[in-house]
Every structure is written in C-alpha cells, then in structure tokens.
Amino acid sequence: MPTAAVAGQGSYPVAPSDGAGGGGANVPFFYGSNLYVEKFATDTFQLTTTAQEFTHNITPGGFLRGVRLQVRSTGGTGGTAAADQPWNVFQSITLENIDGAPIMYPMNGYAYYLGARFSRPWDGDPANRYDTAAGVNPSFSLFVRPEIRHTAGVLANTDARALYRVRYTLNTAAAVITSGGTAPTVSVTNYLETWAQPDAADLHGNEIDPLPPGLNLATLRRHQIFTLNGAGADNQFQLTNVGNELRCAILVVRDSNGARQDYLSDPIRWRLDNRSMGVFSPDEVFNQMSDFYDDLSNGTSQRPTGVYVWPRYYQPGSMKGQSWLGTTNATYLIWETATAAGATNVPGTVEVITDEVVPVGPVPMEMESI
C-alpha cells in the first residue's frame, strides 16, 4: 500500500484515491483521527435507605467508544464493606441508544465489572487500577464500553438531535456498607471517550476516510437470571438471549443470601442445538479461563468466587481464543449441571451475562472474531 509522509513522523499507509483529493490518496480513519475525552456530568449524593437514579445525555461528537464513570466517596465512617464492593455502589447501569433502547442493558455494577474484565481483557482488571478501593469510602473507575477494540463497535455520535444516554442508579447505604456507620457521600463523574471526527484532508492534501471501519459492528451486553436448585438437584440454564454472535458468556452463581459461591458441580455440559460444546468439570472451566486470561495464569488477579467464564473471541496479540459463536433466534443454547451436594442457603441464582456482536455490514478481516 502507498504511504504518505508526515513531517517528523515517518509515513502511514494510504489507499488509492479517485483523484479528487489534493494528494491523490486516502488516509485510513485511524491515522486521521485521535482519541478525545470530555467530562460532561457530575452527580453527588449521600447514600440513604433509598436508591437514587441519574440520567444524562451524552455530549455529541465523534464516534463513541464508551462512558467512563469515575467514582469517589467521602464522609463514610464505621461499618464494613459489603460483598461485591466497590462495584455495588451502582445498583444498575444502562447505556441507551438514541431511541431509548438499551445497548448495555440494566445490570448492577458488579456485572459491569465482570463484563469489563472478561470481555475486554486488554484493558486489564479494573480491580487492579490505581484508584480502586473498597471500604466505607469506595473508589473506582468503570468504563461502560460498547467498543470492543480498535474502533470495532463504536457508535456514531455525530447528531446533536439524536443523543445517547447513560443511566445509573446509586445503591442503598445498607447494600454498600454493612454493620452500621455513617454512609458515604458518593460523587460520580462522567467522561465520554470518543474517536474524533477527522479533518477532510491531512496537511499534505490526502483525503482522510471519514468513518471508522468498526461501525460495521454493533455490540450488546445483556443478562438472564435463573434459579439454582437445591443441593444435589439438576439444573438447566437455557439462554434465550440468542440471535447474535456470542463473544463471551459469564455465569455468576449466588446463594439465597446473594453471596457468590462455587456451587456448580462436575460435570457441566454445554450444548448448542444438537451439538455438544464440551463436558467440563469446574476445575477444567477454571483452567481454560487461566489459559485465556493472562492475569489469572500469572497470578496478577484471582478468579472471583462463583464466576465461570466461556470466552468466544480471539486475542490477536497473544493468538489466543476462537471465533465468535453464531446463533439465531431459534438456537437452543443450554448449560446443564447439578448444584453441589454440600451447597447451603439454596435455592440460589445463576446470572448469565452475555457480550454479543451484531455485524451490520462487511466485517474488516482484522476485526473478525476479536
């Protein structure tokens, strides 16, 4: 491919042009754009006995990668951090399309933490970031991100008449801090992160592609909740959130008190229509997770109790993974397993969080199955 020189920066690839541009070549979107960040809202609220919802329109401009929610807390004293802290500061988070339909469906903060960690591992474990702290004054940042990687799944956020929205609900004080104490005052700062709209041409007159190739992919994050039967009883978890290409399935097992537990027993059978996708023991699921996620294999992070992950995507850098799992609305996708014989505080629940891809145009080869 031809290259165009940029003073002091070598060259970048360009595609042949029809001659309309001054330089006679097209610069790919990636080389003509840049990452852009802007703070657009801040909410401050002292946690009480009632959950509090906030909704914000997202500032238009560029191609939306996602919204980063930066959480800081002050004034909390006494008490102890509840389970799933600090992420459970959010009782619910939603990213809404311009028509109000969810793109990232309503789920609690811990589900969004798991989605970020296990479906976007190149961003690292959010629990290991500099600002993550559980306690009476929880602190963290959570990226609610429809983009998969390298513009795949970005949203065209260019029309001020049609706005995306972020909606979140801050949890009750008792859900965040147990055993009494003074509830913290929580501040949530919203940042949009985008790929900027490029100029029509670069400094040499080469036309710049105006649209990112990742617009040909749309993403969804949804969940479905099942009942986990009593100790030793059989379970069937049939996923009805089908019809798209599945990137990742995260199963979160909880007892009747809402505590996460390793309650799935050997064997765990996974079926797609009349095809067996594998017969796993819990240990084999955990080993497969460690094979795929570097932070689990090298000890940087630990697998959260009660969390079982089936990744169905490819990591180009490490050459790990496999293709997206195609489904239709008629697909029969099911996990079968018994509840552990020694399980207590059951029946419980199993939450299945799915990260999904919807191709809306030809998928660039470099983005296929990432």
pLDDT over 50 (residue 49): yes
Structural domain boundaries of the chain? Answer: 32-195, 214-361
Q: Which CATH superfamily is domain 32-195 in?
A: Viral coat protein p3 (2.70.9.30)
DSSP state string for 38-90: EEEEEEEEE--SS-EEEEEEPPP-SEEEEEEEEEEEE--BSSEEPTTTTGGGE
Q: Give 235's strand partners.
A: 337
Is the pLDDT at 349 greater than 60? The verdict is yes
Residue of 251, 57, 236, 46 lying closest to 136 (CA atoms): 46
Overall pTM > 0.85: yes
- Of the two residues 79 and 16, the one the predictor is more confident about is 79
Please tell me the predicted confidence (pLDDT) of residue 317. Answer: 86
Q: What pLDDT shows up at residue 180? A: 79
Mean pLDDT of the chain: 93
pLDDT the model gives residue 21: 41
Q: What is the CATH number of domain 214-361?
A: 2.60.120.20
Measure the CA–CA gap between 152 and 223, rounded to whole angstroms.
22
List, in sequence order, every residue forming a beta bridge with 280; answer none if it has no partner.
Answer: 268
- pLDDT of 16 higher than 70: no
Residue 335 pLDDT greater than 50, yes or no: yes
Residue 12 has what pLDDT? Answer: 60
Cβ atoms of 245 and 357 within 8 Å: the answer is yes
pLDDT in tens, 280-309: 999 999 999 999 999 999 999 999 999 999
Task: Take residue 192 and report the two structure tokens written for it.
Answer: 């949009």
Determine the pLDDT at residue 6. Answer: 42
- Given a cut of 60, is residue 4 above it in pLDDT? no
What is the percentage of the chain residues whose pLDDT exceeds 70?
A: 93
- Confidence category of residue 8, pLDDT binned at 50, 70, 90: very low
Find the range with the poorest average confidence among 12-26, 243-257, 271-285, 348-362. Answer: 12-26
Q: What is the pLDDT of residue 181?
A: 85
For residue range 74-96, what is the model confidence (pLDDT) as tens digits? 999 998 999 999 999 999 999 99
Name which residue leads in pLDDT, 90 or 25: 90
Q: What are the structure tokens assigned to 150, written together?
A: 């390298």
Q: Residue 184 — pLDDT band, cuts 50, 70, 90?
A: very high
Peptide bond just before 102 cis, omega within 30 deg: no
Beta strands 245-254 and 307-311, pairing class: antiparallel
Question: Residue 20 above 50 pLDDT?
Answer: no
pLDDT digits (tens, 9 = 90+) for 165-183: 999 999 999 999 998 789 9
pLDDT > 90? residue 362: yes
- Please give the average per-residue pLDDT across 9-22, as a whole number: 50
Residue 15's pLDDT band, with cuts at 50, 70 and 90, is low
Q: Residue 164 is which amino acid?
A: Y
Strand-strand pairing, 207-208 and 25-27 = parallel
Which helix (H) or strand (E) segment is 311 a member of?
strand 307-311
**How confident is the model over 335-357, as a mean pLDDT?**
98
Taking CA 74 as the corner, what is the angle to CA 73 and CA 80, rounded to the nearest 5 degrees? 80
Flag whether pLDDT at 53 surpasses 60. Answer: yes
CA distance 22 to 274: 58
| pLDDT for 74 | 98
What CA–CA distance (Å, rounded) separates 280 from 285?
6
